[in-house]
Structure 1
Amino acid sequence: MSADSRSRLPARRDVTEPSSATPSRTERKAQLEARIEQQRIDILVEASRYREASRPIDEGWQALMRFKAPLYALGGVLLLKSARHPNSLLRVAKRLAAGALLLRRARRLLR
């Protein structure tokens, strides 16, 4: 071994006597286990908060999925009608958009 390679090697630690500044292996293990346990608790709390926040969206999606087959049928009927009479579909779409905007403004006004 050359002198250069020996100078780059880290100094050897004496394993038999632990330093008073560093915690023992069992203390360090206990600290890490406590930290992991706290992180698990934090994850559980955040997951619960996330489920509560997303509950209205999930309920709305479930309600929409209950009417999946009728919505497909309605879409098919509208598609057939629009293929035969395209102008009437545009007229209905304009009326629906105007009604939605009117409803939105009425809600804002009543708040």
Structure 2
Amino acid sequence: MKMTSPTVDKPLTRAERKAALLADLEQQRVDMLVNSDYLLRATAPLDKHWNSLKLPLYAVGGIVAFRLIRHPGGMMAAGRKALAGYMLFRKFKLLAKVAS
């Protein structure tokens, strides 16, 4: 014999679903505000140091760009040497992993 429960869950109406979704959106907005405030406080020291380094880095970048425009061959050779050094480093690292 099969028994049915007297309280059957009825599906939510469209208005109830909309209200539930709007409540979820509002909670997500609150969570985002709280998390963004936490993130801003956590990164404040980094931002302060970045602002103190920004101007010198821009100046060095400008000098490098100026030299690259004036003498592109020297910078290209330096770039090739840096790339070759990096590739050599990776090969030595792989060799050390295989050897151990």
TMscore range, shorter length: 0.3 to 0.5
Taking structure 1 as the reference length, the TM-score comes to 0.42
- Of structures 1 and 2, the larger Rg is shown by 1
